[in-house]
Chains A and B, each alone.
Chain A
């Protein structure tokens, strides 16, 4: 199956499941109240996150054809996303400053004068378009990594905390082994060993980021195991699996959400450093920043590339961090104290 078909399927699955989650939240009083007060506290940040999400989704829906490619046979048969289609005729020949009418070096007139909000890059691509393409990469890094890391931490954290004994010893040993290696070096080592595809980068990020959450889950499970309702369930002969599913897991849900939001920004920041080391994901903002670095030493300075990438990155992380802070305050004011 081609990559764009998979992207379409995954996107629709995510959309369907988010509708289901919204319905579930509406039915539960606690969750709908929490979401209501979150909306009241951070309307702007939530709006910004929604804007990024919308761009990411528009860039994940692909289809072939329906584009005026002219003589270009190859691009007529290439799958394009909605974002690709919006910027289909935006190609120039080289650098142009934001909203300029002519090229930056020499003054050849542009194909689309005054149209490029953030100018164009070395080979004439619209910078706003490139920055928008980076949204999907950033969301993919944060999302896919969490999708790998969170179930893993829940599985190991709950079994270590709930069953204790040998299981706990083994999980604890694996955690302290992984935690003792310097994070960035471990990441690089894993990516170099596995090859640098998007999936292997996400796996490497997951390996380095699950430990912290697993430790948290283990600690919480240890506490929950001693609760009266768990003891009562055990006395009534409820099976271990039932206890975990009915009494432990729902009480960890808020931790999952908080950790997901708060680690998201860390993951995107790590990818920026990886991109600079040459082991990042293609098309990410980190890569844009890295490529634009030398442009600052040109004279006159070409600043719009790095500004667009930097601002997009900053905007997303700031919004996510604000939302994350608020979610933590609402759902859990006490137990969570993440380390810097």
Chain B
């Protein structure tokens, strides 16, 4: 077990190194430091100003190790990212780590309830659809899922803000206040929109998972020995469908931290998603690249956790 975890972790480490290399290619080689400086200063900036900006932001050194072994951007990129010394934002010189620290709270306040309410809801709905398989309930359910999947998240948000917040005035249109008495007033609508917008594809996915299990031999055996349908679903189908569900759960964890770009910035929640949108609009490459790295790092950790939790949920999975 321990050997497996270590091997899995070290592969994750290699993937993280790969991500860093990819980010370096995209942000230093495809978009050269000159491009980045020109984006920040405007197209018509004089060459001296661009050189000065590059020196100020540490973009003035040679890129590759073969140009200068001691002082190159590739090595310092790896060093700063791996020591979590993300430096300062290209746009407003605020330390990026500071930004992440203040943004993580609001992001989690939005995504954790969304996840904790949304997951059981989708699993339950898809269990219902699976119980009524091959009847009109199932067919209606699938049609509703496809309907829900065909609507852009932008329309969900705009529609909810217009109907629920503007016409019915149940919740404020946007805004955020971290004090615990009022925080849910601001978060209810984004949480609702987040759940509704993703429920279609989730239910459709879990339905296929359950339907695959429903036709197994052990389900027929359970039915033959007189199990009720509810017991079959809970004990035999749900239990055996845990692997795909677990995958979805653990893979979702990094996104709890990085937040939702669209929801946060539409509803004015100052989380990491809104921070990223700000970075995009302000051509802040340093922050953007840090966010991609943090997201990838969390994802790799989550994946290792998934693989380990497989073995706990399903004794059939052997660690090789």
Residues of chain A at the chain B interface (Cβ within 8 Å): 173-174, 176-178, 180-182, 184-186, 188-190, 192-194, 265, 269, 272-273, 276-279, 286, 289-290, 293, 296-297, 306, 310, 313-314, 317-318, 321-322, 325, 337-340
Cβ–Cβ < 8 Å partners of B146 in chain A: 318, 321-322, 325
A71 to chain B, nearest CB (A): 34
Q: Is the CB of B158 within 8 A of A193?
A: no
| Cβ-closest chain B residue relative to A317 | B150
Residues of B12-53 contacting chain A, CB below 8 A: 14-16, 18-19, 22-23, 26-27, 30-31
With a cutoff of 8 Å between Cβ atoms, the chain B residues found around residue A182 in the complex are: 254-255, 258, 291-292, 295-296, 299
Known: A176-B15, A180-B303, A182-B254. A340 touches B204 (CB 8 A): yes
| B49 CB to nearest A CB, Å | 21
Would you call B205 and A321 a contact (CB within 8 A)? no
10 A-B pairs in the complex with CB atoms less than 8 angstroms apart: A181-B22, A182-B255, A189-B288, A190-B26, A193-B30, A265-B149, A272-B153, A306-B155, A310-B155, A318-B146
Q: Which residues of chain B are within 8 angstroms of A181 by Cβ–Cβ distance?
A: 19, 22, 292, 295-296, 299
By beta carbon, the residue of chain A nearest B206 is A340
Q: A193-B30, A314-B150 are in contact. Are A177 and B15 (CB under 8 A)?
A: yes
Q: Does B202 contact A (CB under 8 A)?
A: yes
Instruction: From the candidates B27, B153, B205, name the one contacting A189 in the complex (CB within 8 A).
Output: B27
Closest to A307 in B: B155
Which A residues lie within 8 Å of B147 (CB)? 318
| Candidates B31, B152, B262, B303; contact of A310 at CB < 8 Å | B152
Q: Tell me the complex Cα distance, A293–B160, Å.
A: 12
Most chain B CB within 10 A, of A178, A181, A185, A339, is at A185
Q: Quick one: closest B residue to A278, CB to CB?
A: B281
| Distance A278 CA – B282 CA, assembled complex (angstroms) | 11
- B212 A337 Cβ-Cβ under 8 A: yes
Selected contact of B205 from candidates A180, A276, A339, CB within 8 Å: A339
| Given A272-B152, A286-B154, A310-B155, CB of A185 within 8 Å of CB of B19 | no
B261 within 8 A of A: yes
Contacts of B30 in A (CB 8 A): 193-194
Q: How distant is A207 from chain B, measured CB to nearest CB, in Å?
A: 10
**In the complex, chain A residues whose CB is within 8 Å of the CB of B209:** 337
Given contacts A177-B15, A289-B155, whether A189 and B150 have CB atoms under 8 Å apart is: no
How far, in whole Å, are A190 and B26 apart by their CA atoms in the complex? 7
Q: Do the beta carbons of B158 and A293 come within 8 Å of each other?
A: yes
Contact in complex: B288, A269 (CB < 8 Å):
no
The distance from the CB of A191 to the nearest CB of chain B, in whole angstroms, is: 9
C-alpha spacing A26/B300, complex, angstroms: 47
**Cα A46 to Cα B158 with chains together (Å):** 30
Q: Which residue of A lies closest to B162 (CB)?
A: A296
Q: Other CB < 8 Å A-B pairs besides A182-B299, A193-B26, A325-B146, 8 of them?
A: A177-B15, A180-B296, A180-B300, A192-B283, A289-B158, A296-B162, A310-B155, A325-B142
A185-B291, A289-B155, A310-B155 known; A273+B296 contact, CB < 8 A: no
Q: Which of A184, A186, A272, A338 contacts B154 (CB 8 A)?
A: A272
The reply to whether the CB of B151 lies closer than 8 angstroms to some CB of chain A is yes
Residues in B whose Cβ lies below 8 Å from that of A265: 149-150
Which residues of chain B have C-beta atoms less than 8 A from A339's C-beta? 205, 247-248
For residue B89, CB closer than 8 A to chain A, the reply is no
CB-based contact B14/A173 at 8 Å: yes
Q: Is the Cβ of A314 less than 8 Å from the Cβ of B18?
A: no
Q: Any chain A CB within 8 A of the CB of B86?
A: no
Closest partner residue, chain A, to B27 (CB atom): A193
Question: B129-146 toward A: CB 8 Å interface, digit per residue (1/0)?
Answer: 000000000000010001
Q: Which residues of the partner chain B approach A337 to less than 8 Å between Cβ atoms?
A: 205, 208-209, 212, 244
Nearest to A177 among chain B residues (CB) is B18
Q: Which of A185, A297, A314, A317 contacts B288 (CB 8 A)?
A: A185
Q: A273-B153, A277-B277, A337-B212 are in contact. Are A185 and B18 (CB under 8 A)?
A: no
Interface members, chain B 204-263 (any A CB < 8 Å): 204-205, 208-209, 212, 244, 247-248, 254-255, 258, 261-262
B292 in contact with A186 (CB, 8 Å)? yes
Q: How far is the CB of B81 from chain A (nearest CB, A)?
A: 13
B212 cross-chain contacts in A, Cβ below 8 A = 337
- B317 at the binding interface (Cβ < 8 Å): no
Q: Say yes or no for B285: interface residue by CB 8 A criterion.
A: yes
Interface residue from A185, A322, A338 paired with B292 (Cβ < 8 Å): A185
- 8 A Cβ contacts from B171-220 to A: 198, 201-202, 204-205, 208-209, 212
Kindly state whether residue B280 has any CB partner on chain A within 8 Å: yes
Question: In the complex, are the beta carbons of A340 and B198 less than 8 A apart?
Answer: yes
Instruction: State the Cβ distance, A316 to closest chain B Cβ, in Å.
Output: 8
- In the assembled complex, the Cα of A192 lies from the Cα of B155 at a distance in Å of 25
CB of A289 within 8 A of CB of B152, answer yes
Inter-chain CA distance A310–B255, complex, in Å, is 27
B286-320 vs A: 1/0 string, CB under 8 Å? 00110110011001100100000000000000000
CA distance A176 to B17 in the complex (A): 12
B111 in the interface (beta carbon within 8 A): no
Q: Which residue of A lies closest to B212 (CB)?
A: A337
CA separation between A180 and B75, bound complex, in Å?
Answer: 22
Q: Which residues of the partner chain B approach A192 to less than 8 Å between Cβ atoms?
A: 31, 280, 283, 285, 288
Instruction: Give chain A residues whose Cβ lies under 8 Å from the Cβ of B150.
Output: 265, 314, 317-318, 321
Tell me the nearest residue of chain A to B11, going by C-beta: A176
Q: In the bound complex, what is the Cα–Cα distance between A296 and B159 (angstroms)? A: 10
Asked if B152 and A185 sit within 8 Å, CB to CB, the answer is: no
- B274 CB, nearest partner CB in chain A, Å: 12
Tell yes or no: B276 within 8 A of A by CB: yes
Taking CB as reference atom, which chain B residue is nearest A318? B150
7 pairs of A and B residues whose beta carbons are closest in the complex: A177-B18, A340-B201, A317-B150, A193-B31, A182-B295, A318-B150, A340-B205
Q: A314: which B residues are within 8 A, CB to CB?
A: 150-152, 155
